[in-house]
Amino acid sequence: MSAAANPLSDLLAEKGVLLADGATGTSLFAMGLEAGEAPELWNETRPENITKLHQDFVDAGADIILTNSFGGTRHRLKLHNAQDRVFDLNRKAAEIARAVADKAPRKVITAGSVGPTGELLIPLGAMSYEDAVAAFAEQIEGLKAGGAEVAWIETMSSADEIRAAAEAAVKLGMPYVYTGSFDTAGKTMMGVHPRDFPAVAKDIGDGPVAVGANCGVGASDILSSLLDMTDADPSATIVVKGNCGIPEFRGSEIYYSGTPPLMADYARLARDAGARIIGGCCGTSCEHLAAMRVALDDYTPSERPTVETIIARIGPMRNKTANEGPTSAPRERTGRRRQ
């Protein structure tokens, strides 16, 4: 894994382990975002809400905040007739986050969130690899102009799409991180196993600053994926950004089972399993993140956990391992990440 000089590598070297932020979607829905509305448009129409989102996570102890740009490619923005505003919306997303980070009392990294395009690459779909690189480059150009320090390629399932986004980042001179969602029988939807994940884009540019997992189906499952990744490449800098416990439907609402104490224990287990960047995904509030900050600050090393230890402390897995096949409940999909 590359450790070329960049702000994220420098902060990792200084602090050893970093806390990334929590959920974007849950927080914005609480502020009035409607289902089906593009969060990225709030960068222009309700910037004060996006500022509050970042500020709350910084106040909770985050070392890394992700820009409100997950759906910022032309393919996703086209669904909202905003495909001609890619540069401006992404630049604005980064400017808002960077303004919060720059006034923090400690170094906070502004990471430019880059999510999947929602398109399938040839031969499964119509998008060429070159078109994917161009779309990601257009987005990352805006993020870089707004002050993002690293391209944070997240919730990915296709190895080719990860490589396209990484290539776009390198073209723009940006260090990059990539994470996958291992939500389909312990693999990504496109069949990538966690143990193969660190090598997906290792040869592009200087290689990723960090790789890992986010979202998925629950905190226990993502910790299992983490074990697979740190087993496969002990030298890799691994990110884990799990959902807040397990998502459940209660009527029409999605409820996340994770309490602040449970997420604190998740952070301790992630640290013991070898993660060096630890955060939360869907359902993870500032309260959860603050508990994770305390857990990492008060961390006492313990032995590397087994899957059995994880299940005993965090709860049952929703998927069986990639080698055992799927179990009952598939991941609830909203089409967005970091709810």
For the chain, give every domain's residue range. 7-314
Q: Please indicate if the annotation marks 286 as binding a ligand.
A: no
Global confidence as pTM: 0.93
- Taking CA atoms, 75 is separated from 83, 134, 153, 188, in Å, by 7, 11, 16, 21
Q: What whole-number distance in Å separates Cα of residue 5 and Cα of residue 9?
A: 6
Fold of 7-314: TIM Barrel (3.20.20)
Q: Which two tokens stand for residue 237?
A: 């800098």
> What count of other Cβ atoms lies within 10 Å of the Cβ of residue 102?
11
pLDDT digits (tens, 9 = 90+) for 189-241: 999 999 999 999 999 999 999 999 999 988 999 999 999 999 999 999 999 99
- Mean of the pLDDT values across residues 130-156? 98
pLDDT at 326 (0 to 100)? 35
Residue at token pair 């959920």: 23
Q: Report residue 249's pLDDT band, with 50, 70 and 90 as the boundaries.
A: confident
Q: Is the pLDDT of residue 328 over 70?
A: no
**Considering the chain, what percentage of its residues have pLDDT values greater than 90?**
86
Which stretch of DSSP H or E encloses residue 43?
helix 42-45
Looking at every residue in the chain, the average pLDDT score rounds to 92
pLDDT at 327 (0 to 100)? 33
pLDDT digits (tens, 9 = 90+) for 90-123: 999 999 999 999 999 999 999 999 999 999 999 9
Q: Report residue 254's pLDDT band, with 50, 70 and 90 as the boundaries.
A: confident
- HSE, side-chain direction, 13 A CA sphere, residue 61: 19
- Mean of the pLDDT values across residues 118-139? 97
Q: Please report the beta strands in 96-168, taking only residues with DSSP state E, as ranges in sequence order.
A: 109-114, 150-156
Q: What whole-number distance in Å separates Cα of residue 7 and Cα of residue 108?
A: 9
Least confident of 22-26, 33-37, 47-51, 321-325: 321-325
Query: How many helices (H) and strands (E) in the chain?
Result: 12, 10
pLDDT at 320 (0 to 100)? 63
- Mean of the pLDDT values across residues 58-79? 98
Q: Please indicate if the annotation marks 244 as binding a ligand.
A: no
Q: What whole-number distance in Å separates Cα of residue 90 and Cα of residue 96?
A: 10
Most confident range (mean pLDDT) of 151-155, 317-321, 333-337 is 151-155
